[in-house]
Structure 1
């Protein structure tokens, strides 16, 4: 318990830990305290109280930060820039499929409700939902060059993290296409609570969606096999008529990279965002 006492002394003695920009350190401190929870001797009431007080203080500071950012977003102030300010790593070079402090920040700001409706059974070519790690969403927003005239379409949007963050951080219209009604309901509720008029969610099969509305399409491997093939064929048809960008993350990236009508902005890898643009035919 000496290590725990030293940790508590460091937390209690660091007044600057209350600063908004120290969010990452607060999350790391909470994680470390949480690791000691199963080990603490409940008979040591003084140590247990100090640990409880430290956690409550850190969580209160984070809750206040989430509240301020949400208020800025609703007031159409700089909530998006505040979020981006916490990407203290170079998200343009983000790798890996693990989650980090940015996901805690995004969860606290978006406050997505838990799905309450029954969920559909996954089809044979559907992929179990998990959200894109937040740093990769920020990387996609930056590297795809999203701007006010664009429309981002997230194919298999899940609970809507990508469209919601794109709508917060840019003036882009962001649309989430999702088959699961419970996820669509949660994402729509979150967008409404934040006053995001530029975010919308549609309960649709991606194969039936109106691709004409999009200029940038995002896929975090929501499906595979013949479904992915059909979606790529439809995207190719759109690309023959106009310039579009296709952003991928996860196992679908190597499949998309094999399309001879697309060129990637970086060497395609499954653990980073790749932005594909239409391959210009050489005369």
Structure 2
């Protein structure tokens, strides 16, 4: 983009009062991405104008995050993110992050846990947060509700349990190997008044699965550790109906489990929702 075109766009954006509207958070994210892309080539007065625009947009976002946090603390969370999710036009598929993740980050205000205090054991996978659009997709397709208990096996900083609680009112439990991550998640949940969210610092193989109705795994482990967890989940599925929701490479493994079924084709870059298969009458 030429300098003249950059000036013209900055002029247009400077005059656009709607950029500060609460419902234009996606557009603000796009503009901030554009400003990031320009940073290496901007200098002088143009750089100053770009920084002024950035400050304006970041202040609008901060005000929105504050209003959303207040609404969540008042128990008005259900529907907040779902309403905005319905406005999206982009495909759900894909493992990348988008503006909804920026929004969630601003609302949750998660601290930096550092590198983690416990080294991962073999077959444990390094933590990555589940993209927010996939969490909302999972909540809708699993029909998670206030009578359910969602157990996130490998919950990291707690994005899934907290977002599930905010949007559905369900009780949620995060099981996480790293105590430092659990500490961050607990602090964030308390600050938002999420009393039905619990985080446990433990090996998933030692977790009490008896309370769960829906289990979520974003490929937290592979190999024999994953096999051990699948055997434990199968035992739970023999006692009562459960759902197992997966994301990432573990989906292909879990799709091969004869005791689980799904009504949709599975793929690694979209959440798969499995139910316990009914015994055949033949």
Moved more, 108-117 or 172-181: 108-117
Aligned to 1:218, what secondary structure does the other structure show? strand
1:73-106 deviation per Cα after TM superposition (whole angstroms, max 9, x unaligned): 11112x3422222212269x61000100000000
CA RMSD of aligned residues (A): 1.3
**What is the CA distance between 1:72 and its match in structure 2?**
0.5
How far apart, in 1, do the equivalents of 2:149 and 2:160 lie? 13
1:6-34 deviation per Cα after TM superposition (whole angstroms, max 9, x unaligned): 22112112111111111100000011011
Q: Which ranges of structure 1 fall in alignment gaps of 5 or more residues?
A: none
Question: How many matched pairs?
Answer: 278
How far apart, in 1, do the equivalents of 2:66 and 2:26 lie? 17
**1:64 counterpart residue number:** 63
**2:74 counterpart residue number:** 75
Structure 1 residue 129 corresponds to structure 2 residue 131: no
How far apart, in 2, do the equivalents of 1:86 and 1:36 lie? 28
How far apart, in 2, do the equivalents of 1:21 and 1:195 lie? 24
The one of 8, 11, 22 aligned to 1:6:
8
Q: 1:169 to 1:113 in 2, by over 3 A?
A: same
**2:224 counterpart residue number:** 226
Structure 1 residue 178 corresponds to structure 2 residue 176: yes
Q: 1:161 to 1:250 in 2, by over 3 A?
A: same
Give the TM-score of the pair, scaled to structure 1.
Answer: 0.95
Answer whether contact 1:265 1:274 (CA < 8 A) is retained.
no
Q: Spell out the pairing of 1:94-133 with structure 2 (5 A cutoff).
A: 94-116=92-114, 118-133=116-131
The one of 27, 32, 39 aligned to 1:37:
39
Structure 1 residue 50 corresponds to structure 2 residue 49: yes
How far apart, in 1, do the equivalents of 2:9 and 2:82 lie? 29
**Which segments of structure 1 move beyond 4 Å, counting only runs of 4 or more?**
none
Q: 1:53 to 1:181 in 2, by over 3 A?
A: same
Give the TM-score of the pair, scaled to structure 2.
Answer: 0.96
